[in-house]
Structure formats: C-alpha cells, structure tokens
Chain A
Amino acid sequence: MPAKSTYTDRLKDHLRLDSTIKNNVVREIRTHVEDKKHELVESGLSEKEAFATVTKLMGSPELVARQIYEVYSQGSWLQAIFAALPHLLVAAFFALHWWQNTFWLIGILVAVACTAIYGWSHGKPAWLFPWLGYCLMPVLAVGILLIYLPVNWAWLAACAYVPLALVIVFSVTRKISKKDWVFASLMLLPLPIMLGWVLALWILALEGNNGFLSHEQLYDFAPLMALSFAVLALTVAVFIRVRQRWLKVGVLLTLEISVLGIMALSGKSSINPFGWAGLILLAVILILGPAMLERRQRQTSRRPLNLSRKSAR
C-alpha cells in the first residue's frame, strides 16, 4: 500500500513531537485515510486511484504536520521560566559574585545535575535541554584546566582532550537530535558564550598576574557576564513560548549572535575581530548543525526501509 504508507510516513517524518502525541496523531489520521479509501473503492475506484485521491484530499502532510506541531509546541509560562532558570542562576552567580562562596557553586552544580536527571527520566520535556547544556560544562572545565599545565604537557593533553571532548559533545547532540534537532541547538546555546568568556579571561590573565585572574578583574567583567546569561535566559523563555518553528530557530540565532556582538563591542576583551567572527561562526554551526545531523540520521534510518521495500517487490 504505497500511497497510504507514504502519506502517514511523510506526516510522521515531519511531525516533531513527543512520541505519545505523535503516535496518537498518526494513528488517528491513518484511520481517516482508511475510511476515505474504503469509501472511494466502494464508489468504483481502483485501490491505486483511491490512494491517489485520498492523498490529494488530505492535503499536504508537511502542512498538517506543521499545524499540529504549532498546537503542541508552545510551553506554558511556568515551563518557560523553568527552562530559563539555569541561565538565570548563572547570571545571578556573576551578578551577585557567588563565585566567592563555595556553597553557591556546589548548590548550582547539584541543582543542574538533579534537574537534568529528573527531566531525562521523565520524558525529556523541552525545559530539560538548557539544564542539559550545563551538564556539558565539565567538558569545557577540563579544557580550562589544561591551560595551567606546563606548556609541553598542555599540548600533549590537548591532543587527547580535543577529540575526546568533540566525541562527547557530538554523541550527546546526536542523541538529542533524534528527538528534535532544535532541542540540541537549545542545549548547545551557552557553549559559544562560555567559550567567549573563557578566552577573554584567559587572554586577560596572560597579560598580567602570571596567568591568574585577580578578583578586581573578575569584578570588572562580572556585570557583562551576568547580562549575557540573562539574555540567554530571555532567549530560552521566548523559544519555549513561541509556536512557530522558524521563529524558535530565529530567536536562538538572533539573540545568541546579539550577545556575542555585545561582548565584542563592549571593548572589555582583547579577543581580535577574527576571534569574535570565529565565535559567531561556531554559534551558527552549533545552532544549525543539529539540523543537518538529524537529516543525515533520517536518511540513514530510511535506507534499510527502502531496501526492504525493494526486495519485497
């Protein structure tokens, strides 16, 4: 039954929703397709003609999938606030100088880990992914620690660290992209900002104080760092609240690039324009890259299906 499977398969392909809702919608529309086909066959059409007519009468599966996505894609205000919370905590960490107090640092780490575990084991809702992004921060933290190794050792360690870090980030991104690639983009959102600040502070530390930052230098940077994470929190809240997919991606791109732009134009860092351009490019790759990853995964998963259909013929 090629036409029927094509219609519902195409619908399923474009329907990026929680699997329970997705299966329910596909099952419901499949019954409609079957009822209509039955009616058309009874009226004298052949099976093939009936399928072609049903497909035409149902309308574009892409349009139906998009409209159904827009019904379910809007999170509540509570979900928006909860999704923005990890970025707000990091903003508060810098605004209120919590780095001076180990209690706050441990508190934030425990909150991030517990929330990520809870969300992961409870159906991976949209609010989970910003929290999950901070679970990747230990990978970045290890990279920062490499800076303090003796030069020869640092290069050696970097050779092992970079591929390993890429494998970890890539495999987590691939897993999240299976659910929906926009969630992977949401998860990776703070990485370029974090990297930007790490580079800015590192250059500052190299310029004086024997590679270490003074409290005054950190105090000087803190308000802008807090602002950048507050804008990320706003980005996430808007992402959760808007319905349209293109708008969600647009919000991520626009606000992330704006934050990097503000960081570059503030004149606080010695990163050169090429460095900032590289960070903006990285941000675009991290936001749009998961889309290509998902596309590749879908093509790979479809291949065995097509082969089995061909062999069945």
Chain B
Amino acid sequence: MNYERELLKGSTDSLLLSLINREPTYGYKIIKELEKRSNGYFQFKEGTLYPALHRLEKAGLLQGKWQRLPSGQERRYYYITPKGQKALVERLAVWQNFSTAVALIMKPTTG
C-alpha cells in the first residue's frame, strides 16, 4: 500500500473544501491551484478530481453552477455551501489536533 497515496486520499475532501472556500472555482483551475500552492507536491490524475467534487456536491458541501467566462466558454464553478463551511471548520480543527499530536510523537530525537 502506498502510504503517501493513502494520506492524500484521506485529505482530498478537506483540501478541496479549503481551496473552494477561498474562492469559487472550476476543476481545471483547482488542479492548477493545488499544484501551485503545494509547490508541485499534489499531482492528481486529473480525471479523478471530478468524482471527489461530485461526491462533495451530493453531500451538500459544495454547489456546482455552469457559468460563462468573458471568453464565451462555459465552466462548471463550485461554491462552498454553509454546510460545507461548517464541515471545513470541523475538519481543520481535527487536522490541527492530529498533526500536532503526530508531530509531538514523530519529531526527531535530539542530543
């Protein structure tokens, strides 16, 4: 089992909620943002982003809307819902507690 892949799998929803909470955006831009903000660390198989977005939408955490860009092209923008914002706050708290606890145990021993 790939440990890194398992970690990413468990964090994908929180990453997406966090990114969409900053500003409504669409699939292609989300991939670009994830790559940019993580200095190239997060590289998804791009097609597999959509099942995650649709799962969050079905759970009522996101809402997708087709919007026309100034260029005339249409893109499906995702907006975070109040339920999504609440879920994000909860997940951030859990993540902070978890990462603090992991860091306390896994920090390299000194001296």
Chains A and B belong together in one complex: yes
Per the 8 Å Cβ criterion, residues 18-63 of B in contact with A are 26-28, 45-48, 50-51, 54-55, 58
B46, B58, B75, B76: the one contacting A59 at CB < 8 Å is B46
What residues of B have a CB within 8 angstroms of the CB of A70 in the complex?
A: 51
The complex places the Cα of A67 from the Cα of B58 at a distance, in Å, of: 13
Question: How far, in Å, is A269 (CB) from chain B's closest CB?
Answer: 46
Q: Decide yes or no whether B73 CB sits under 8 A from chain A.
A: yes
The complex places the Cα of A71 from the Cα of B59 at a distance, in Å, of: 10
Q: Decide yes or no whether B4 CB sits under 8 A from chain A.
A: no
The complex places the Cα of A67 from the Cα of B27 at a distance, in Å, of: 16
Chain B: interface secondary structure? helix
What residues of B have a CB within 8 angstroms of the CB of A72 in the complex?
A: 54, 58
Given contacts A31-B75, A31-B76, A71-B55, contact A58 B27 (CB under 8 A): no
What residues of A have a CB within 8 angstroms of the CB of B54 in the complex?
A: 25, 68, 71-72
Q: Which residues of B contact A (CB under 8 A)?
A: 26-28, 45-48, 50-51, 54-55, 58, 73-76
Closest 10 CB pairs of A and B: A59-B45, A67-B51, A58-B47, A64-B47, A35-B28, A59-B47, A28-B76, A71-B54, A71-B55, A32-B28
Question: What would 20 A/B residue contacts be, using CB atoms closer than 8 Å?
Answer: A11-B47, A24-B76, A25-B50, A27-B76, A28-B50, A31-B26, A31-B28, A31-B75, A35-B28, A36-B28, A58-B46, A59-B48, A64-B47, A64-B48, A64-B50, A67-B48, A68-B51, A71-B55, A71-B58, A72-B58
Q: Which residues of A contact B (CB under 8 A)?
A: 11, 24-25, 27-29, 31-32, 35-36, 57-61, 63-64, 67-68, 70-72
